Structure 1
Amino acid sequence: METQNQNIIKPKVWQILGKTITKCKTSAEAIQEAGLDFTVWKHPNLHALPSGNNIISDNSYFTFRTDTEAILGDKVGCDYEMVQNVDAFGFFDSIIENYGGLHYESAGSLGYGALTYITAKLPEYIKVGRSDLIEQYLFLTSTHDGTGSMTIAFTPVRIYCANTLNAALQNCSNCIKIRHTASAAEKLKSAHKLLGLTNQLSTEMEAIFNRWSRVRISDPELKRLIQLAMVPNKETYELLKTGKESELSSQFNNTVSAVLDYSLTSPSQQEATTKGTLFGFYNSVTGYYQNVKGYRDNEAKFKSIMGGTGLQRNQTAFELCNDFAKQGSSIFN
């Protein structure tokens, strides 16, 4: 059962965990202000054998913070290269110096520092219709537990409801991923090329969102689009495609009802750009994960929206919008 009030706009997903750092001029200041000024090292794992002997591994390591000695990852390889926060975030400094109006907004961490992040806000907006504004951010995450790459992403956020409108365009990814290897530091230096992509992404997304805002959809079409966007597995998809909706699970139907209710009743969904439009459907899915769905905790919400189920549903809704804009309701057949 959904317990959160859909009419209350929640903070941006990274604000619920991080710290506001708008007054910081450099990434070093931001890291210190957000409590991310720690270093990470790795150490060989120790294997305790039944005989009582202990063997130090030569190919299995764990990572830990040197200040608290908190273990961040317990199984990384010998070629895993640590990239400290100050180095991972440092590339933003040169971008901010060369991009007028770009400034830091927030920084934070998950899991005792296993994942750290920083955001920088671009000065321009994506404008949909007359007054529906979407803020633009560069969002960097770096992991210290061996489970992921450093990721630098272009992330638009709709002001009305703080929805992260993350989605990869068909001809252009919205992010750069850099593996933790010996060459990661060199690759990080080239990450500024994402700024070149932001102009392309911003222009394309503005055109796409405005096109969607002019495509009218009926309430039955809205419900079907929501059903397709929220499909959790192949079995559910097959039931939808074959018209066996009576066999759909109550959990799935409840989720669809929650998204539909948000779309039809939330104040943020009553704007001319969203009410009864394809753009409104897209925002109903992103808004559900941002403002309605209940989570175990804030870290679970962050992970879902920025890299988990929420992001996957966002991408599915984006693709459905593209298909519907071209083919109309024939995509339901």
Structure 2
Amino acid sequence: MAHELATNSRTGRAAMFYVRKDGAPWHTLGEPVEDALTWADASVAAGQDWDAVKTPLQYAMPDGTLRLVARQYAMIRSDTSGLLGMVSDRYQPVQNREMYGFLDRLVDGGELRYHTAGCLKGGRVVWMLAKLPEQIKVVGDDVVDQYLLMTGGHDGKMGIRTLFTPTRVVCWNTLSMALSAADSRRKSGWTFNHTGDMESKLAEARSMLGLARDHFAEFGAKARELAAKDWTELKITTYFERLYPGPKQADTEAAAEKAAEVQAHRDRLRELFDVGVGLAMPGVRGTAWAAYNAVAEHLDHDRPHRARNRRSATQFESSMFGPGRTLKNKALDLALAMS
């Protein structure tokens, strides 16, 4: 299916690995591996050990002869010959090993470690989650790990960038904070320059780590601010209603169905506010931080989909790249504004 994790052609499992000792995120999809991998090892487990090949397009004439399509190429996977996308003659592919492999030196030095990686949409999108050694202490025993989500595409539509992804340890909620617009590179994340020698790439990666630490420090301050705010029942209700607004008109069958769907989301969020994983912890219960994490848990773990593996893969894609991440940004901004 178009929105699922791709399949590893060797193992038949989802094209994804995760570090065994940290547990299996996203409902055990993928291949468990041991710690301290090089990218060469990790790419095999993640199903990323292939090249994106730029191939001329041809078309058949009525008499059977083949002609080239001017200035148009197909991007093909070298291992399966699967089609990744259509690109122009100006498009220059960047291979998976070029996106991440140069980070091995940072892994060897303990500055980060490969944690999870995989392929989406048949390999059109590849991603890697790297973990920094530091943690954010929010309140009491509630801590947040720091991850870098690095993504790239082979379909000519998606650039290569890094998103900063805090993850709450107690529940594996992936949290999110929109980057400051003060630096144009921070509006959507960090974009790597994949030209140049190894030393220049490492210098840029270390600059990215410095920016990441600043970002996580800012996120930690905002998380502690939310944890210090006890919310009334009225504020809790208003918060969830603003995140899931109802239809403006409810005089049609479709509008009535939409209103019922919205109310189901609100009811579930209110339930999670009281019983969500880790939301009864001292210092967390009843706070704006609990309300925000109720939203994150709902988006990451229990939004309904038709089939288990499809649900897991679709939720992962939404939470890390798509509408789920956007809504978590909105939820954090709104919680701060209401506190």
Question: The TM-score by the shorter chain falls in which range?
Answer: 0.7 to 0.9
Deviation at 1:281, TM superposition (A): 1.2
Equivalent residue number for residue 4 of structure 1:
none
Identity %: 27
Describe the superposition over 1:4-26 as per-residue Cα deviations: whole angstroms up to 9, x where unpaired. Answer: xxxxxx9534x754434443442
Return the offset for 1:131: 0.9
Task: Indicate which of 31, 38, 48 corresponds to 1:36.
Answer: 48
Matches of 1:63 and 1:246 in 2, distance apart? 45
**Measured at CA, do residues 11 and 223 of structure 1 come closer, stay the same or move farther in structure 2, by a change above 3 Å?**
farther
Residues 48-127 of structure 1 mapped to structure 2, 5 A cutoff: 48=60, 54-73=66-85, 75-98=86-109, 100=110, 102-127=112-137
**Measured at CA, do residues 269 and 38 of structure 1 come closer, stay the same or move farther in structure 2, by a change above 3 Å?**
same
Structure 1 counterpart of 2:213, one-letter code: N
Q: What corresponds to 2:19 in structure 1?
A: none
1:323 paired to 2:337: yes
Q: Please list every run of 5 or more consecutive structure 1 residues that lacks an aligned counterpart in the other structure.
A: 1-9, 240-244, 326-333
- Asked if 2 retains the 8 angstrom alpha-carbon contact of 1:128 and 1:273, the reply is no
1:152 alignment partner, one of 162, 165, 169 = 162
- Equivalence for 1:306: 320
| 1:176–1:191 Cα contact (<8 Å) kept | no
Q: 1:247 to 1:115 in 2, by over 3 A?
A: closer
For the Cα contact (< 8 Å) 2:175–2:328, is it kept in 1? Answer: yes
Pick from 288, 298, 322 the counterpart of residue 288 of structure 1.
Answer: 298
- TM-score normalised over the length of structure 1: 0.80
Deviation at 1:48, TM superposition (A): 4.8
How far has the Cα of 1:313 moved from its partner?
0.7
Q: Check 1:319–1:48 CA distance in 2 against 1; reply closer, same or farther (3 A cut).
A: farther
Q: What is aligned with 2:262?
A: 252
Q: Deviations over 1:79-131 (max 9, x none)?
A: 21111111111232232244x35222222212232222222211111001121
Distance in 1 (CA, whole Å) between partners of 2:157 and 2:29 is 20
Cα drift, residue 311 of structure 1: 0.6
Query: Secondary structure of 2:263's match?
Result: helix
Q: Which moved more, 1:275-284 or 1:45-54?
A: 45-54
How is 1:135-284 mapped onto 2 (pairs within 5 angstroms)? 135-170=145-180, 171=182, 173=186, 175-177=189-191, 184-186=194-196, 189=201, 190-231=204-245, 236=247, 249-284=259-294
Greater relative contact order (Cα 8 A, min sep 6): structure 1 or 2?
A: 1
Mapped partners of 1:17, 1:252: distance in 2: 29
Amino acid at match of 1:177: T
Question: Contact 2:129–2:147 (CA<8 Å) still a contact in 1?
Answer: yes
Distance 1:230 1:52, change over 3 A: farther
Task: Using the TM superposition, give the Cα deviation of residue 266 of structure 1 relative to its aligned residue in structure 2, in angstroms.
Answer: 2.2
Deviations 1:264-320 (A, max 9, x none): 222422123332111111101111011211235133112110111111110110110
Kindly tell me: are residues 112 and 201 of structure 1, through their superposed partners in 2, closer, same or farther at Cα, counting changes over 3 Å?
same
Distance 1:53 1:274 in 2: 70
Q: What is the CA distance between 1:247 and its match in structure 2?
A: 11
Quick one: distance in 1 between partners of 2:155 and 2:73? 10
User: Structure 2 CA distance, aligned partners of 1:50 and 1:250?
Assistant: 56
Distance 1:266 1:46, change over 3 A: same
49 and 286 in structure 1: CA distance in 2 versus 1, 3 angstrom threshold: farther
Are the aligned partners of 2:162 and 2:190 in contact in 1 as well (CA < 8 Å)? yes
Q: Which residue identity does 1:108 align to in structure 2?
A: G
Q: Do the aligned partners of residues 223 and 177 (structure 1) sit closer, same or farther apart at CA in structure 2, a change above 3 Å counting?
A: farther
* Alignment-mate amino acid for residue 128 of structure 2: I
CA contact (8 A) 1:155 1:164 kept: yes
Q: SS of 1:251's equivalent?
A: helix
Whole-Å separation in 1 of the counterparts to 2:84 and 2:28: 21
One-letter code aligned to 1:23: D
CA contact 2:98–2:194 (8 Å) conserved in 1: no
- Tell me how far apart the structure 2 counterparts of residues 177 and 227 of structure 1 sit (CA, whole Å): 35
Please give the alpha-carbon distance, in whole angstroms, between the structure 2 residues aligned to 1:159 and 1:310. 19
TM-score, length basis structure 2: 0.79
Cα deviation per residue 1:169-189 (whole Å; 9 max; x = unaligned)?
4456372135xxxx6434992
| Structure 2 gaps, min length 5 | 1-22, 250-254
**Superposition deviation, residue 54 in structure 1:** 4.7
Instruction: Give SS of 1:275's match.
Output: coil
> What is the SS of the residue equivalent to 1:185?
coil
